[in-house]
């Protein structure tokens, strides 16, 4: 029976991992958590991964502030997520309250309201049922997108169901 080389994860030395992780970080903004997970995937132990993260921070390959701002712009601008869903996702990434608050300033209030109204109008047109059912389906959809109940109620009061 022929023996095949192991296809499992190969352990890299810190020297081998450094150019790979730099390329990973240069491609797109990453959180500390994402970088540490990737380094562990390369087979580095916790101490080696921590030291490598410090080097990446010092050489400006990783910045939580840049990551948070980019994340907020992307999730709001491309996916239309509301503030609540974005904030929850940033907390899962391990960001602190101050970093999240700063990053959330990337969303202009007027654009936020316009986006919420556009989603509400689009969903209201696509659902069927009684006016009450249509309103509730639209509200449920918007809550799922991460918009706040007060903002949703304000927008829904402007629409005809």
64-104 in CATH: which number? 1.10.10
pLDDT in tens, 75-86: 999 999 999 999
pLDDT in tens, 95-108: 999 999 999 999 99
Q: Return the structure tokens found at 4.
A: 């095949």
Domain coordinates in residue numbering, the chain: 14-58, 64-104, 109-156
pLDDT confidence bin for 9, thresholds 50/70/90: low
Q: How many CB atoms lie within 10 A of CB 117?
A: 16
Contact between residue 81 and residue 75 where contact means Cβ atoms under 8 Å apart: yes
Q: Is the pTM of this model over 0.85?
A: no
């Amino acid at each position: 029976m022929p023996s095949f080389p192991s296809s499992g994860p190969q352990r890299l030395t810190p020297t081998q991992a450094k150019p790979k992780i730099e390329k990973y970080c240069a491609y797109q903004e990453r959180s500390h958590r994402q970088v540490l997970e990737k380094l562990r995937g390369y087979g580095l132990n916790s101490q080696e991964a921590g030291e490598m993260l410090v080097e990446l921070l010092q050489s400006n390959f990783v910045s939580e502030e840049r990551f948070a701002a980019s994340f907020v712009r992307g999730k709001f601008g491309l996916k239309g997520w509301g503030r609540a869903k974005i904030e929850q996702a940033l907390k899962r990434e391990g960001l602190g309250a101050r970093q999240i608050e700063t990053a959330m300033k990337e969303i202009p209030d007027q654009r936020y309201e316009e986006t919420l109204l556009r989603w509400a109008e689009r969903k209201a047109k696509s659902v069927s049922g009684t006016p009450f059912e249509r309103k509730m389906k639209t509200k449920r959809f918007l809550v799922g997108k991460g918009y706040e109940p007060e903002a949703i109620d304000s927008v829904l009061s402007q629409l005809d169901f």
